[in-house]
Amino acid sequence: MSSRKLFTAATACALALVAAPHGSAHKQTVSKAASPPPGRQTQPAPSRIAPVQSPEIQSVVDEAARAALKKFADKKLAENQLAITVIDLRDPNRPLTGSFRGEERIYPASVVKLFYLAYAHRLMEDGKLRETDELKRALGDMIVFSYNDATGYVLDMLTDTTSGKELPDAEMKAWQYKRDAVNRYYASLGYTNINTNQKTFCEDAYGREHFSRGANGENRNKLTTDATARLLAEIATGRAVTQARSTQMMTLLKRDYSGESKDTDDQAHGFSAIAVKDFPGARLWSKAGWTSTARHDAAYIELPNGARFVVVTFTENHSDDRDIIPTVARVVLEHFAKR
């Protein structure tokens, strides 16, 4: 195995808050065409997922929140530092949901990469973004290894923007409008209360990236566990872009938690996987995110009894408490394993 694959994002910047800009310029691949190339027909987007509030699932979420808050009371884990959303997909045509602070806007760390992945596939499906080998390499590294440099490249491709020196006000306004393309896409799908227009970094943002983020971080990326759970559920059920595109995304999100890992921030062995491995035959797809102040996971899990569900857990100011997320996941797993 190459040293590149062994060198994970967790090793590079596990305690990072935000990342520095990537200064190299490169050719953009976003087409200005409003329609696919001649002869190419895009598939219509599948119907969106519309989870129904469920007393059963809400009870599970409440139990999971109580378990985490009680177990980590000595670490001063507070309610306002935890958010959870669960979507039950046993009947994918009538998904059920429950949440704990599911609409709270929280800095998502690398979980935002899930949103960049889905938007990239939308643009590629529409013929507005060339599906090059380099783009596919970047998408894979962004999701599988959570590389921030790959994410910066992907976001540049999605929005036809690049990092660099400060810009005059008028040019910066035009630059920011282009960078907000991801937000406009998700708003068109009915997503609310989120912000997805910033790169992910290991150190800090400079130049136009710094001014875009805002002096006090007022334009930082923000997600809710509700929005994140919805997107992951749409990918898992083949509703994100097209069935074929969703399948490609799921391939990148698949986690093999067998064996051992010395990396405590390995997406396949840490986070929700710590609990999943205790349920024989369970299968896991996920995207985690962690910084010096945040520790999150968005997981889709299938059990041998046919249960299928999404559990998204965000924690703030407890990034070193690695068992909060598996504590939540374990309660949810135990519920679905009994069904």
pLDDT, one tens digit per residue, over 280-317 is 999 999 999 999 999 999 999 999 999 999 999 999 99
> The dihedral of CA 149, 155, 156, 158: what is its sign?
positive
Distance CA 200, CA 148 (A): 6
Mean pLDDT value across the chain: 89
The two three-digit tokens of residue 261, written as one number? 């890992």
Average pLDDT over residues 191-211: 95
The CATH code of the domain at 9-21+47-337 is 3.40.710.10
The Cα 95–Cα 229 span in angstroms is 11
Model confidence, pTM:
0.88
69-105 burial by CB neighbour count: b if 16+ within 10 A, else e? Answer: beebeeeebeeebbbbbbbbbeeeeebbbbbbbbebe
Nearest to 255 by CA among 266, 246, 247: 266
3-state secondary structure of 2: coil
Strands (DSSP E) contained in 79-123 are 82-88, 96-100
Rg (CA), the chain: 19
Q: What is the pLDDT of residues 105-147, one digit of tens each?
A: 999 999 999 999 999 999 999 999 999 999 999 999 999 999 9
pLDDT per residue as tens digits for the range 231-281: 999 999 999 999 999 999 999 999 999 998 989 899 999 999 999 999 999
Question: Quick check: helix, strand or coil at residue 190?
Answer: coil
The pLDDT score that the predictor gives to residue 203 is 86
Separation CA 333–CA 86 (nearest Å): 11
DSSP for 280-306?
A: TT-EEEEEEEE-SSEEEEEEEEE-TTS
Q: What residue segments make up the domains of the chain, in order of their start?
A: 9-21+47-337
Q: Which residues contact 122 (CB under 8 A, 6 or more apart)?
A: 185, 241, 245
What's the confidence (pLDDT) of residue 41?
Answer: 53
C-alpha to C-alpha distance for 257 and 223, rounded to whole angstroms: 26
Beta strands at 82-88 and 283-290: parallel, antiparallel or unpaired? unpaired
